[in-house]
Structure 1
Amino acid sequence: MKDINERSSNMKRILVVLLILTLGHSILQAQEDAIPIDIGQTVEGSLSETQPFAYYTFEADAGTVVSITLVSSDFDAYLVLLDSNGNVIAEDDDSAGRLNAMITTELSDTGVYLINATSLRAYRSEGEFAGVGNYELTLTSDDTTTTLEPIIDISIAYGDVITGNLSGEPINFTFEASSGDVITATLESDEFDTYLFLLDANGVELARNDDFEPFENTNSRIENFVIPEDGTYTLQVNSFGAVVGIDEESGTFNLALMPGVATSSTPVPIPSPTATPPPPMPSPTATPLPPIPSPTMTPLPPTSNTEIAYGDVIEGYLSTNTARFTFNGTAGDIINITLNSSDFDSYLLLYDENGFEIARDDDSGGDLNSRIGPFELAQSGTYTIEVTTYSYISYNETGTGNFVLRLNTAITETIEIGLNEEISDTLSNETPLLVYRVSASAGDVIMLTFDTTSYSVYARLTAAGGTVSQETYGGPGILGPIIVSEDTNYLITVGSYDQYGPYDFTLTINTTNPVAIAYDTPVTTNFDESPAQVFTFEGNAGDIIDVTVDSGGAVDARISLTSPESGTIASDDDSGSGFDPELLNIILPEDGRYAIVAQPYIPGDNGNFTINVANSGVLSIDEAAQVIRVSDKQTRGTVVLEGTAGETVLISARVLARGRDSQPYITVTQNDAILASNPIGDVERLILEFVVPEDGIVQINVEDSYYTGVIIEFSIFNVE
């Protein structure tokens, strides 16, 4: 959103003022109790329920550039730097990567400064609640003596392309620039995940980039940055691993600095060696699995399980990557699962009786704890809860420690509401979670409109069995449209990430009458009748479509495309001309009725616009190989082939490029039957073998739940 950063920044400033007002009467006491820390020193400490803040003081001269880093694996770190009068100089949440905090600033006066090392939870609640655990605090300055090798400084000028080698420590490239200069800096490497910073003459960060989205890889670009004043600037070359504290990556890189306005397609003269395709890698024949409602769900591998029942509280120790617990549930049960740990960042997954994932969660329990629920079970049977860690899910790193797992039913009252009924309610300490249930009939098209003044308040819309799960926070927001395929109950859960309230909100589950459109048939309309317009069309698996909006500048609109299963396939705001959105080269994953929702970017904005869905054909691998790109812009891709009953087919899936932590999963289906499924894993090529059950179209679907980007070439594999 165009103003999200500004609004978030204003909220943070308000929170800091509130925190300092709360502590203002005791700022002298905080200074008296503070522990002295010297520049160049690292100290260890811990926060507790009774001591949610830790204070440190240091002395420094005017003009000193200090860097303060707070690192913890137990809580979401937060830093506040104050002067001797209690005035806030700087504050930070996650600039050190992951959930760690870092402040880098130039001090304006000579004197004593106060560091408040705390948790985001304590900061937001003004000390009412605490993040608990150990931390490490480091204070350095621009002239701190260190045993590390000094950062290398190299000159670079406009038009230069420099080849270098990163061996662990970041490398600085300095250049002279004038006020108003527009620059684009590009950092590429085939050997590590790049990270690029732009700093001013005082070392203050002006811009950073990890993975420039249009590149669809792990290379970095700072594009069209306007230089604020005459002076010396620095481009700092680093790796993603070093920035987030995982590992210091190394390797050869190319850095280009170009003047003038660039576009995402502007070529930069950086050589990139052509990768040699790896030889074919055989894969064991995939055994067909039983049909499930969604062909892209990931099956649960077999392992030993522990039984758990409603009302149980299990205190355990995670000694391996995962622990699993099974329970018997009845259709219609509304359950809540919570996972708490002070030793690791928890992660929860829920699987149905067939071993397919139906829900997952990281931090909805607050303070790095996990919660699934309220969640309505769609079928009676045996369900599996998987306990694991964020580090294992995201980085395949082992996490161990103590945990507490709870399984309950209906811990909060479920409020029955009707379609088109407006609800106004309040979250508070007494009611930190509210759950509503609404029933919809087959053929309904429904949308949730939600509004609140707090960015920490969320609304989650979930269908029974998890077939639909969408979330919005802050306000105003819209979820859907959802095309209801069968009579279904939906749960609307309203809660807060900080749980401190009171927070007012309004919500409505609206039924809408969508406008039916056809391929290549433009429709002109506006927002006179509704704040959001819904369009539906019939599509087939493998169709390649372009969705364009043309308002001629009359209205700033945004669009999103949802599948027949009500999952969002793609969305856009301003990719077209002017402020118009467009979705190009979208591959439809299945046959059925698709929906497009168009709404003004600014609520209340209105004007005529023309929407068109153009069909470019279908991606078939019968005659030639086809390439699929999956990312956060397009979360699923599909190719098809014409199958003959009884035919044995081998499909080659070859990875051409992938983002960090990419985990593409491939599923082959015909009608409702799954013929083969397998993750690609870390290999460069996967062969799937299956037997076609009947004549007709076979779909090959690819999905990457981490949305880090992957490009895969699909072809029919011929054994010679």
Structure 2
Amino acid sequence: MKSVILGKTAMAAILCAGLAAPGAAQELISSRGELRSGDEELPSGELYDVYYFDGNAGDEIDVTLTSSDFDAYLMLRNDGDFSVENDDAEGDTSTNSRITATLPEDGRYRFVITSFEPGETGAYRLQGTNGVAGAFTDSISGTLSPSDSTLEDGSYYDRYTFAGRRGQHVSLRMTSTDFDTYLRVESPSGETFSNDDGDDGSTNSQLDLDLTESGRYQLIANSLTSDETGSYELIIEGAQLSSSESSDSSAAGGAATSLTLGTPARGQLAAGDAELDSGEFFDVFTLRGTPGARVVVTMQSSEFDTYLGAVGANDFSAENDDDPNGGGTDSRLELTIPADGALTIAATSYAGAETGHYTIRADLSGSSTRAASDQRLELGRSVNGTLAASDPRGDHSVEDVYLIEASAGQSLRLALTSEDFDSLLRVEGPGGFSVENDDDPAGSTLNSLVETTLPRDGTYRVVVASYSEGGLGSYRLDSGTTASSSLNGLTRLTLGSSVSGSLASGDDTIPSGEFIDAYSFAGQRGQRVTFDMTSSEFDTYLSLLMPGGGTEENDDRAGGDGETNSRLTVTLPETGTYTLVATSYQDGETGRYTISSSVSTGGGNAPVLAGRSGGRIFALSVGVADYGGRAGNLSMTDQDATKLTQTLQHTGMLAQQSATLINQQATRENFIEAISEIAGTIGPDDLFLLFYSGHGAKQRVESFMERDGTSETIELFDAAVTDYELARMLEPIHARTLLVLDSCFSGGFDDVINRQTGRMGVFSSDSDLTSLVAQKFQAGGYISHILQQAMEGRADANGDGAITAGELSEFMRTTFYRIALDEPLQTTAYGASGTRSQGYQHIVVNRGGDGMPYDEVLVTLASR
């Protein structure tokens, strides 16, 4: 986190937090602090502070977080996939936390200081041993000489600065064998602290301060009497000193220069300017304007890479490295003048010690490049806009809002595209209507598409946002009144009939390059429709786009006939216009195909009857933490299985034939035997729940078994079970099946779900990504923790005492992403050739192309 210190004429300072780090310079890490109301919150409600430090590969970290006010929780992260957490220090019955670790690589690291329970507040101390003393202690050697500046009494001095925050504890010591030292510290508001002799009675000086405000502090290294000279050493614990100055100029920068709207100002970064802690020179400008006015600030230079920062009233801050509209080395900020009419602008560089001339200017924002708040949008028109840091913040990120007037039954199509951020599009309207889309369901893209039928006359809000909290940049919003305006050759499809066509060069394509044909049909809520796409010339693929923006898709027909045909069976969730997209599995494939369709209005043709609630739960809960040397041991994965069984017992529906296998019990033989016993007694109205928490891996197989040549596994205590083996093991289970796997690469087990209707899968990661341990939640994995909450009753959204497949899907997804939005779960991705790269863990929920209907009751909760 890059911290820009903006000086004012009164020697006070403003700390502009939240600016992206240009490099790996050491930043402030405090040994004392306080969690208080108003701090940032984790998704689960805990307040937290963050401290940064630079580490090197091989550094030994031993840090303890103590508090007498709350149950301390400590996390250590880097910008990659390194992650360590601790709740209670080993062997300590108190509520303190301790982390001992070896840093894996050079780079920026951060401690996250938080509590075990939501809402806890109070003072804390973060303390490191000698192994990390460098992270908390700074020292500078200096010399007082006749060339230094003098105070009024004629004594020589050197000036240093350090950044501090309210509640932080800082210890300072000045030692010398040449003269009697004298220390003085001035706070941002001018309060003075001084010391002549330390506690040891020597001529050294010492100050221990609990800082009362946040900002830039001045430290004067001085002698007790005039004309004294010689060498000295300054030691500071809990902060970092900036470089020494031998003159009386402010280290935080001189008086700010006024920046006038519409008038460019020219400046120069040069040696001798005020510096950030990380070494960048900076100048300060003050901009005044009408409160609420939108302004654009730009900084340009042909001599260095520019960087802009801004702060204002009510803790407002913003930053920009590269102009989002043009890229390159120029900077651009879009801002709103705060209530007091003033903004403070920092003009600096991206990297330390850069110098050169620059031009900075501020202009009123034009209305042609972005939308004002709640601007009217005319259907059929497009608008170009920009998400800026100063925009109003919504649930996900900053937002732009457009208003449209529409009539009941009107079809609406909105497409949001951006090359700068992962877009998110939402439509809200009368009667609580809300439709949201993150990724266009027609292809692998970060753009968003909403196609829906509006239910009522009235005004609708179109919200443009970013999926990630910090997403900013330019976008384009296209609007239309038909659900298929972007698809050429759209053909009307009559349910119950067949249609033949061909994919050919010249057809529309989706972003990944596959040719497509599109068909539309009118569907009614509750209709159960089946589409079969067959071809002898290419590998078929079907996608169904819902009126509300959702999607269902299928590559290979359920049942596994060994061919390349596709089948979709879906119970339509709403009344409106649907779009069926016929395409191929690989890009560029062409050839003839046939699509046949059938429809029923009830459950008679469905193999699973929705709404049943009298069945028992046959659970096989498996958790392996101790692998006996066959693989690396894990943490708490065995507890995941035990806790789930205990929770299911409280429902009163857990069948006697259920089994829990942990550690040495979880052998391949016991696993197969447990499934076989359940298969012999389970009935069609019952639910088979197979849960696993432990290691997952990949195995090389022949391509006829797996298209990518690898099979995913769950690693039991003594042997692996592959995805295709598990599919065979489950064939005797003639009941609804819920498969929950909290393991690496578990998304590859989706084929098990697609083989039969009446199956649902919840997987902790995609098929090429590893999964992380959820130490924060005292669980072996995030999915295990969330499933535990779901089965405790939290997934019962409507409070009717039952959990449906839809309720479970929504609870698992939304709870996971609340956790991941605060801090994305960085993990490792493995390519087909075994190459590794950085990725992000995401939950995968598969209902088998609606083979498990949305309103199918899975669990009936105990009466409360």
TM-score (norm 2): 0.30
Determine which structure has more spread, i.e. the larger CA radius of gyration. 2
Greater relative CO, 1 or 2 (CA 8 Å, sep 6+) = 1
Between Structure 1 and Structure 2, the one with more strand by share is 1
